[in-house]
A and B are shown apart, each in its own frame.
Chain A
Amino acid sequence: NAGVMQNPRHLVRRRGQEARLRCSPMKGHSHVYWYRQLPEEGLKFMVYLQKENIIDESGMPKERFSAEFPKEGPSILRIQQVVRGDSAAYFCASQSMDSGNYEQYFGPGTRLTVT
């Protein structure tokens, strides 16, 4: 059973470009979470999605950021018109629907560098 997959692992973008980060959850997991780690900071929640639905986006910046988790395919975190302050490590975690299963399983992260 493959773990949570994220790609790319490293992404370099110039200011003003778009960044697309992908997350494939563990098999059978229908909950996906995105977290961000800014330099010298801890992991901060961004958004929580279930298949085709955004459940909680309270941690997502209001502009330029969007997320989706389509019926088929990976979850995508999209950052439009990137700025230097978007440089960070972006982690995705997945969770199953089993009752009583609280664990969130993390991927290896995508390190975004904006030049």
Chain B
Amino acid sequence: ILNVEQSPQSLHVQEGDSTNFTCSFPSSNFYALHWYRWETAKSPEALFVMTLNGDEKKKGRISATLNTKEGYSYLYIKGSQPEDSATYLCALNPTSNTGKLIFGQGTTLQVKP
């Protein structure tokens, strides 16, 4: 059974703080890693898809890095805003670009104004 682990489970920060979360996965079963942002009562929204060791992606104040050799990815949010409050999910594609995603439990971020 493949496990994707995310930490921390939840995080409370003040507006303006920068923060980061970790996603760990088995390095021997890797094809691609996805990050999603999920607000309550909405659809999970795709943030990044990463495939290559050393990949670094950025969208506004959010960025992500990937280390496939050691099996982890970091998601960074610079200068958190209240609208960043959401659950951030990472998901592993173990076999190919089509096929099931294996999700972590998510990190729930709350940003206080």
For B99, what are the chain A residues with a Cβ–Cβ distance below 8 Å?
Answer: 48, 55-56
Which of B45, B97, B100, B105 makes the CB contact (< 8 A) with A48?
A: B100
Interface residues on B, range: 20 to 34
Per-residue contact bits, chain A 35-52, to B (CB 8 Å; 1 contact, 0 not)? 100000111110010000
Residues of A in contact, count (CB < 8 Å): 28
A43 to B89, CA, bound (A): 9
Which of A4, A55, A56 makes the CB contact (< 8 A) with B43?
A: A4
Q: With both chains docked as a complex, state the minimum distance between the C-beta of B99 and any C-beta of chain A, in angstroms.
A: 6
Which of B43, B93, B97, B101 makes the CB contact (< 8 A) with A100?
A: B97
- List A residues at the B interface (Cβ < 8 Å): 3-4, 31, 33, 35, 41-45, 48, 55-56, 58-59, 91, 93, 95, 100-109
